[in-house]
Structure 1
Amino acid sequence: MKNLKLLAVMVLVFSLSAFTNKTDDNGYKIGDFATDFSLENIDGKMVSLSDFKKAEGFIVVFTCNTCPYAVAYEDRIEALNQKYADKGFPVIAIMPNNTDVMPGDNMEAMRERAKSKGFSFPYLLDKGQQIYPQYGATKTPHIYLLQKTEKGNEVKYIGAIDDNYQDAEAVKVKYVEDAVDALLEGKAIKVTETKAIGCSIKV
């Protein structure tokens, strides 16, 4: 009887976890408008998209310290900010994991990681995990490219950074760069959605 009760609890926990983590069906789609947020940065200040008055859009990246996929992309995320922040599309990184489950992703660890890697972009904590479900993010890293319009921040691209997480030198298609370049040139984005490759967000 005890084993049956334990099994029932385990099934319930797994089901709730799977349901909670499956937010892509309910999150933003291409053409939707992303609501603003106010999240704590590693410097202790609260950051919102509305703070960036001169920005033309944003490269919103859900990422973390502990996922090997996210770690593999850190230099490329920094390179995106170096290339596009001055052109109006800064990187805004958000750490979405439950830090009780993943203490290596807590604020202190975020500060240490950002310092050691020399991040030049905001690295925000999604405390209470309120923001990533709105977006529909399921992985780290998971990219949402937004463009400022009169109606708000329109979602223009969702998915992966490029087509090779293992080797930056072997990348053939740079999805995010191609998308931002298209927006800067006033052209249509050829590939608006790809599958994000990474670790599941921990709830």
Structure 2
Amino acid sequence: MLKINLLSILCLLVFFAGADVNSGYQVGDMVKDFKLKGVDGKMVSLSDYKDEKGVILIFDCNTCPFSKAYLERIKGLHTAYASKGYPVVAINPNDPGRSPGDSFDAMVSYAKDNGYEHAYLQDAEQAVAKAFGASNTPHVFVLENAKEGFKVAYIGAIDNNTKDAEAADKRYVEDAVDALLKGKKPETSNTKAIGCTIKWKSV
């Protein structure tokens, strides 16, 4: 009960106090390539996925209660869609100086402890998060691999029920990817990302 109440309070705080970043990619925009370090120690570029149909890009972290609530659903998205050409790529944008639990070493341990099969990358300079206009963890950007590069097809939440995956009656990311796999545009292309605000570096 305490966990559920905490999530409810955080939802309200994020909704009223936080942080939609307007100066980022919008649906239909082409995405520039980037290169970030993954928990396996290797550098990963968006262009490494050029042979995929798209990417489910999720700004995520170790510490946010919302990210923890969605952890199994994020893993499930990778299990369901990687083989269909839409792997999950998670990016941690949090400043470890403000959130020590999101350090690179902590990311490595967290990914191992939770059996991550998807890529988990550190946005150490927060440049990728800023380019996308990410505001929360988790914050999803479904990217379609168009002929000219990766294009944003959906931005927002994973579904409409943080507390209970089974109770969600709107599965935005699944619906968006399913539509793209059928050669259609997502019926819902933009929703509000509900989660913890990204821990930006102090200026």
TM-score of the two chains, using structure 2 as the length reference: 0.88
SS at match of 1:154: strand
| Structure 1 counterpart of 2:104 | 107
Task: Quote the residue 2:75 is aligned against.
Answer: 78
Q: In structure 2, what residue type is equivalent to 1:118?
A: G
Asked if 1:167 is matched to 2:164, the reply is: yes
- Cα separation, 1, equivalents of 2:133 and 2:90: 15
1:55 aligned residue: 52
Opposite residue 68 of structure 1, the aligned amino acid is P
Given residue 84 of structure 1, which amino acid in structure 2 is its aligned partner?
Y
1:169 is aligned with what amino acid?
Answer: E
TM-score norm. by structure 1 comes to: 0.88
Check conservation: 1:23, 1:133, Cα contact below 8 A: no
Percent sequence identity is 50
Are residues 1:187 and 2:184 paired? yes
Alignment of 1:124-143 (within 5 A): 124-143=121-140
Higher Rg of the two aligned structures: 1
Letter in 1 for 2:181: L
Partner amino acid, structure 1, of 2:86: F
Higher deviation after alignment, 48-57 or 180-189: 48-57
How many Å apart are 1:189 and its aligned residue?
0.9
Whether the 8 Å CA contact 1:61–1:94 is kept in 2: the answer is yes
Alignment deviations for residues 138-175 of structure 1 (CA, whole Å, 9 cap, x no partner): 00000000001122111000000000001111111100
- Using the TM superposition, give the Cα deviation of residue 22 of structure 1 relative to its aligned residue in structure 2, in angstroms: 5.0
Query: Given residue 93 of structure 2, which amino acid in structure 1 is its aligned partner?
Result: P
Match of 1:17 in 2: none
Among 94, 97, 102, the residue aligned to 2:94: 97
Q: What's the offset of the Cα at 1:54? A: 2.3
RMSD: 1.1
* Separation of aligned partners in 1, 2:25 and 2:184: 22
- The answer to whether the 8 A contact 2:153-2:185 is kept is no
Distance in 2 (CA, whole Å) between partners of 1:172 and 1:23 is 24
Q: Cα distance 1:23–1:152, how it changes in 2: closer, same or farther (>3 A)?
A: farther
List runs of 5+ in structure 1 lacking aligned partners: 1-20
